[in-house]
Structure 1
């Protein structure tokens, strides 16, 4: 029953880490966009 490994704590931690990385990259992108938008053209 290897499919039970999907619900192991390590798998959950891996998913949460990926979500944190995606969220962090999104925040960094929004900050960069805000900085570019804020600076004069």
Structure 2
């Protein structure tokens, strides 16, 4: 029971983290276009 709860919590946390990272990406691109271009060229 506890194991499944921990698994669900970690899966939800991962989902939230990926969604927030995806939402923050355009802001980061707008804030720092040069570093973003450098990052994508690597």
Q: Please tell me the TM-score bracket, short chain as reference.
A: 0.5 to 0.7
Instruction: Kindly name which structure, 1 or 2, has the bigger radius of gyration based on alpha carbons.
Output: 1
Structure 1 unaligned blocks of 5 or more: 1-7
**More RCO (CA 8 Å, sep 6+):** 2
Structure 1 vs Structure 2 CA RMSD? 1.6
In 2, Cα distance between equivalents of 1:36 and 1:27: 14
Using structure 1 for the length normalisation, give the TM-score. 0.63
Using structure 2 for the length normalisation, give the TM-score. 0.62
> Larger % of helix: which?
2
